[in-house]
Each structure stands twice: as structure tokens, then as C-alpha cells.
Structure 1
């Protein structure tokens, strides 16, 4: 009998002396006409894992699309086509995002200074409140230089006047008007009153010269405001009707400057 070290006992022993059993090739044994230990046939569509090694991946029947490692990222598009772009060069200016258009402010200021000037209706319909706020603060600041603290009267009279003009113009016009448009136009047309207040710092407005200057400022403001309202609301041949309540409102502001 050959020893275990000489591999004489069993040809299936490995070099360490252990037995190897090939379960994959085992066909079982026959006892009483019945076969035991035979492996069950694999279902259709599956591969034999024993031929691929322990832990192998099964092969699918349908081929898979290979993964290329690409990640879907949004494509940057130009702002001209109305698409997204992450470039700072395509970002709109901050003043434009805030709704402040210096071109429209310049046009409406020129229209106030020159009531006979033709104004673009789009500039009038741009109801920005930057210009009216600046002119209202200028009106109060000029009164403050003359020794009059009248900020409460300015905001109170201005608010009541805007409300009254809004109700009146909604009754007179066919299209209607918004409150922001009323505030914007009346605020811009306050510019001649600011000039009158600066004149009050130099001379007294309670004499003949002051009375004439106050009447000119009232007529200037009311003519400019009525022209802007008629242009914005397409109220043909109704400028005098709109100018009358505007003159009453700016007449109250003139009293703050005189007294």
C-alpha cells in the first residue's frame, strides 16, 4: 500500500493530502433503479454558475447598453434665444431687475419741464416710483432749508390728492387707470414746486413777485400733469377737465411754500 505522501491511495487527492470531490461532474448513484444525487437541470435562460466560478455574474439573455460614464448636464444656451446661461455677462442689470429705467425717468422729467413736448406713452405707463420719491424728498428738503418742517403735510395732502385723482380719472376714462400711474405722474409733476421752494429761500413769496411765481408754478404743474394723463389714457379733448383738479392739488402745495 502506497503512503499518502506518494499519492498512491487515491488519484483524486491533492498535494496536501485532501480529497477532492467534483460535484459538478457527479452524476449520482443508482439504488434500486432510482438515481440520487444528480443535479437538477437548470431553467431555461440561466447559465451554469459552476462553469463561471464561485461568485460569477450571470449572463443575461438580452444584451445591455454599456455604461460610458457620462453624466447628463444641462447645456448652456444663449440669452438671445430665451434660454438659460450661467454667465454673468448675460445677466440683466440690477436696476432693470428692480424696474428702474433711467431712460423713462429722463423722458418724463423732460415732459414735466416742457409740457408741449411729445412723450412716448410707454414711458408714461411705466409707473416707477423712484422719480416721485426723489421729487417729494426734494420738496420737503427745500421747505426744510426755508425753516419749514412740513413732511407730514406733504405725505397727507399727496395721499389724499392721489386718491381723489384716481377716483376722478376712473370715472372719466374708458380704460381705467391704476393707482401707481396716478402717484407716478403727480409725483413727477411736483418738480416745478421744488423750484418754487428754492426761490422761497432767496426771496419772500408773500409779495407780488411771490404771488406771480406761485401762480406760474401751479399752472406749470397742472399743465404737465394733465398732458401726461391725457397721453397715457388717450383722453382726447379732455385736458382742461383734467387740469382743473390738478391745479387745485398743486395749489395746496403752493400754500405750503408761501406760508
Structure 2
């Protein structure tokens, strides 16, 4: 027969287990190695979720607000392409009788690149691959007009090569129209030569006036400048005709 043992009940004081309470006060939270202790002034360095959440919806501590997405410039303007300016220059050249040289004071190469590419594409539709020739002729023509104008103007000439290249490229617009219209006209006829004469005179008049108005000391040599511009755009018309 098994013997029963009587064990008196253990009564703890009202404060709980003193050994457990003392151990709780002496227990330390584990800290990751090589990590500084959390700073109460910086809520994102501590593990207090409530304070971190309240700090995330509050104003920045240093009072510095970065640029928002709405304040950023469009991508074309960041690349230096002003579409409004290109459109105004294009419309001014389309009306040679009311040309506004003041619009072309700010030179750019975005519009000339578009016109040169369009001219090459229309030539490609006609079965002529002239992209390299067009680009080379535009560069040589700009250098030619730059040298001729500054030799005529002397020391007082203020035409730079960048502006000259921009003006020659924008005045290629009549040649682009001629290249597009020649696709619907039989080759080698008198109609093509008549159209070529009209568009060459158009480009010559526009380019001559822009060069004279935007650069000083060119008014007295208007005839010679017009002759040089006529030679330049006559070469481009020969690409379309032949």
C-alpha cells in the first residue's frame, strides 16, 4: 500500500515572487553587436512602433522639403528641346513675307535636326539614300556661309558658327517641302525644275534676311550673302531633282 506524503502549500507575498521580480529588473534586452544604443530623440533608431508611426506623419525635423514630382521640368526641356520655340520658328519660315527674325535670336539644333531627318526620309521614299550626304553638306554649307559672312563683315562681324548652323538648318524647311512634293511629280520634267526654282528662292530669301538681321555689318553685303545662300540651297535641290 502506497504511502501518502503531505506537502504544505507555498504562499507567496502580495508582491509576487521576489526572485522573479528581482530577475526581471536585472534582465537586459539583447543588443546587436557594434550597434549604438537607441537614441530616444530619434524615433526611427528605436523599436518604439508608436513613436515611429507618429514621427513618419509629422513634419521633417530639419525643415527641408525636397522638390516634388509636379515641380520637375518636362523631359524635353531638361534635354534642351523647346517644342514651342521650334514651332514658332517653323511657322515664321513658312510665311517668308512676314518673317520675324527676333524669334531666331536663340539658336538651337533641335529644329534643324528634325528638318534634316525629314529631308533624308523623303529622299529615302524616292529610293535615294542621302543621309550622310545631307549631313555633310549642311556642315560644309554652314562653314562656307560662316567664313564668307565674317570675311565680308571684317572685324565687326559677330556671326558665330553655332548660330549659322541653326539658321541654315531651319531654312532647310522649304527644301523638305520640295522633297515631299517631288514624290508626286514625274522626274525630269519642267514642273520639277520650276518647283526647284521657287523653293530655292524661298530658302535663299529667308536665310539671307536672318543672317543680315541677326548679325551686324551684313546689310551692306546683302547681295553677296544672298548669292552664297542661293548656291547652298541649289545643291540641295539637285539632290531632289537627280
TM-score by length of 2: 0.68
Q: Which residue of 1 is the match for residue 160 of structure 2?
A: 178
Unaligned runs of 5+ in 1: 1-68, 77-84
CA contact (8 A) 1:169 1:176 kept: no
Secondary structure of the structure 2 residue equivalent to 1:89: coil
**Unaligned stretches of 5+ residues in structure 2:** 1-40, 43-59
Q: CA deviation at 1:94?
A: 2.6
SS where residue 98 of structure 2 aligns? coil
Aligned to 1:197: 179
Is residue 2:123 matched to residue 1:143? Answer: yes
* Residue in 2 that maps onto 1:30: none
Match of 2:222 among 239, 245, 253: 239
Query: Displacement of 1:221 after TM fit?
Result: 0.7
Structure 1, 244-253 or 95-104: larger mean CA deviation: 95-104
**Is the aligned partner of 1:99 residue 2:80?**
yes
Compute the TM-score of the two structures, normalised by the length of structure 1: 0.63
Match status 1:257 vs 2:223: no
Name the Cα RMSD after superposition: 2.3
Cα-to-partner distance string for 1:51-87 (whole Å, 9 max, x where unaligned): xxxxxxxxxxxxxxxxxx69973645xxxxxxxx523
C-alpha separation between the residues in 2 aligned to 1:162 and 1:187? 9
Larger Rg: 1
Flag the structure with more relative contact order, 1 or 2, with Cα contacts below 8 A and sequence separation at least 6. Answer: 2
C-alpha displacement at 1:106, in angstroms? 1.5
2:100 paired with 1:111: no
Hey, which of these two has a bigger chunk of helix by percent?
Answer: 2
Q: Deviations over 1:134-170 (max 9, x none)?
A: 1111111111111111222212222211111111222
